Amino acid sequence: MKIRVLGSGAGGGFPQWNCNCNNCQRLRHNNMNGKARTQSSIAVSSDNINWLLINASPDIRAQLEAFPAIQPKEGLRDTGIKAILLIDSQIDHTTGLLMLREGKPLDIYCSEMVKQDLTSGFPVFTMLSHYCTVNHHPIPIDGSSFTIPAIADLRFYTQALKSKAPPYSPHRYDPHDGDNIGVIIEQISTGKKVFYSPGLGEIEPHVMDAMQTVDCLLVDGTFWTNDEMVSLGISQKRARDIGHLPQSGEGGMIEVLNGVQARKILIHINNTNPILDDDSEQRKLLDAAGIEVAYDGLEIDL
Ligand SMILES: [Zn+2]
Ligand SMILES: [Zn+2]
């Protein structure tokens, strides 16, 4: 299977439009060895023709323009995107759906809770239905599997993760299973597997099991420290409070990944994270731990 990282940044991207933090400011002024990053999304395919889009970021237009394999091939209107899977209803993962309104019916796979958010607090599905048909396909949240007719040779296992629904969700303060999911993608013919979870607040036993059984991990790389946003004076919220395990420190992602055999790649990197600087000390620590940092355009062949 082939996995294309369309966007490796967290919400806001890198640099973020209004941010003057050490990273954003240095990248903008060419004072840093690092790459700009668009917001969180990947595409996966087993045949390089038919693609599943996982999350639809506000940057989707530029992401598709940068990726010839998913562009129109035949007829007047065409796309390699045959279905869309949403892991939650967050702005940076769903706003891009609005950019796909010119298309044929959209086959969107997401949990019941995500569907509810996208027809109430953030009614993207309702809005889209005035332009194109939205076919919602419910997905399991107990780790069981499903396949998608137009995407050959791939099987998906989806499971609820402990997390919070977005601020605009009617059940923001009343967490439900399915507000956020992790997904294992398996190529049926080869048995190769990848685990994708750009938001991981807590390493639940089933998450550890997933990490132990796959060939490649694409997991939460949002923050380096738990108080990254607090210490910069950007927010009062700590990483763990908003569903992101920091990389450093006790029980952090580096510690968690120690001993995991799979190829390890961090994704969904916030613009404040020092690992965005390829020459940083933090980046050297990741290198030493055998952990990679995703970038836009990275392709993984499994
Ligand atoms: Zn996000
Ligand atoms: Zn910034």
pLDDT digits (tens, 9 = 90+) for 276-285: 999 999 999 9
- State in Å: Cα 191 to ligand 1 middle: 29
In single-letter form, the type of residue at position 136 comes to H
* Per-residue buried b or exposed e for 34-71, using 16+ beta carbons within 10 Å of the residue's own CB: beebbbbbbbbbbeeebbbbbbbbbbbeebbebbeebe
- State in Å: Cα 273 to ligand 1 middle: 14
- State in Å: Cα 142 to ligand 2 middle: 36
Average pLDDT over residues 196-225: 95
Q: HSE (CB half, 13 Å, CA atoms) of 255?
A: 10
Tens of pLDDT, residue by residue over 243-291, are: 889 999 999 999 999 989 999 999 999 999 999 999 999 999 999 999 9
Of the ligands numbered here, which is closest to the C-alpha atom of 9? 1
Average pLDDT over residues 107-113: 98
Sign of torsion over alpha carbons 132, 138, 141, 145: negative
Percent of the chain predicted with pLDDT > 70:
100
Q: What is the rounded CA–CA span in Å between residue 96 and residue 41?
A: 10
Contact yes or no for 189/47 (Cβ under 8 A): no
Average pLDDT over residues 211-239: 92
Residues 6+ apart with CB under 8 A from 130: none
- State in Å: Cα 270 to ligand 1 middle: 9
The answer on pLDDT for 242 being more than 90 is: no
Reduced to 3 states, what is the DSSP secondary structure of residue 23?
helix
Tens of pLDDT, residue by residue over 131-144, are: 999 999 999 999 99
> Which residues lie near ion ligand 1 (Cβ < 5 Å)?
11, 40, 92
The answer on pLDDT for 233 being more than 90 is: no
pTM of the model: 0.96
Place domain 2-301 in its CATH homologous superfamily: Ribonuclease Z/Hydroxyacylglutathione hydrolase-like (3.60.15.10)
Tens of pLDDT, residue by residue over 72-100, are: 999 999 999 999 999 999 999 999 999 99
- State in Å: Cα 189 to ligand 1 middle: 32
Tens of pLDDT, residue by residue over 146-191, are: 999 999 899 999 999 988 889 999 988 888 899 999 999 999 999 9
- State in Å: Cα 75 to ligand 1 middle: 34
